[in-house]
Structure 1
Amino acid sequence: MPLYEHVFISRQDLSNTQAEGLIEHFGTVLADNGGAVVESEYWGVKTMAYKINKNRKGHYAFLKTDAPATAVQEMERLMRLHDDVMRVLTIKVDGHEEGPSVQMQKRDDRGDRGDRRERR
């Protein structure tokens, strides 16, 4: 089955448990349609670059899935209809990377970028 990565933003006035409940809800939608969530991450509340529906912040969530296209289309349709979900991004990938995503890694673990003060 094809591999996908999804990021969605939900409203800032939800609690953390409600936002994480959305991840479980959309995971069950995939499972009901023959797909599976390989890994999910809750990134927390982050400030957005611009306002969306009068919100400056939102709960970010990330899903790695292994699902047929029809299951992904149904999940996206339900996400777009859900009142708490503001934005959805789905990308088809060749393979999932191992370990946590870049958003979940500590700043020190992101590689050898050097100290910014040394660039002068």
Structure 2
Amino acid sequence: MNIYENIVILNASLADEEIETASAKIKDLITNSGGEILNADVWGRKKLAYEIKKQKKGFYLFLVFKSPSAAVKKLENYYKTFEPVIKYMVIKLEKKQAEAALKSSLPAPARQTASVEAAASRDARDEKTEPKIGA
């Protein structure tokens, strides 16, 4: 299975309950198609750079998920007919990008531990390579 990033812009004029229902339908479609959601971020209502389908604002939903490619085609077809979606983009991540996405999808304490370990190894490496001044 491949890892994908997905940004969905929903119609911002919908009520909060309708937006939650629409995002739940999208997440259910991914999981029911054999996928696994790794990270789901709600960016909320934001002004669009340009008007889309007579809308000046959109509700942004960002997903990182693991899925077979057939499920992605099914998801894209669903977006084309699903009324609340005004714009979407699904991108297949390369190996390095997928690793970074997996790291960012870790819970906050695990991310902090990983960043502390990375900083410690970087500091140890720097100590070995720094020239001694005045020696």
Q: Work out whether the TM-score is over 0.5.
A: yes
CA contact (8 A) 1:48 1:57 kept: yes
* Counterpart position of 1:55: 55
CA contact (8 A) 1:20 1:42 kept: no
* Counterpart position of 1:27: 27
* Counterpart position of 2:3: 3
Moved over 4 A (4+): none
The CA distance in 1 between the partners of 2:62 and 2:23, in whole Å, is 8
Percent identity over paired residues:
27
**TM-score, length basis structure 2:** 0.69
Aligned residues: 100
Distance 1:72 1:50, change over 3 A: same
- Structure 1 unaligned spans of 5+: 101-120
* Counterpart position of 1:98: 104
Cα root mean square deviation, aligned: 1.5
- Structure 2 unaligned spans of 5+: 107-135
Paired residue type of 2:104: E
Q: Does 1:73 find its partner at 2:73?
A: yes
The structure in which a higher percent of residues are helix is 2
Larger radius of gyration: 2
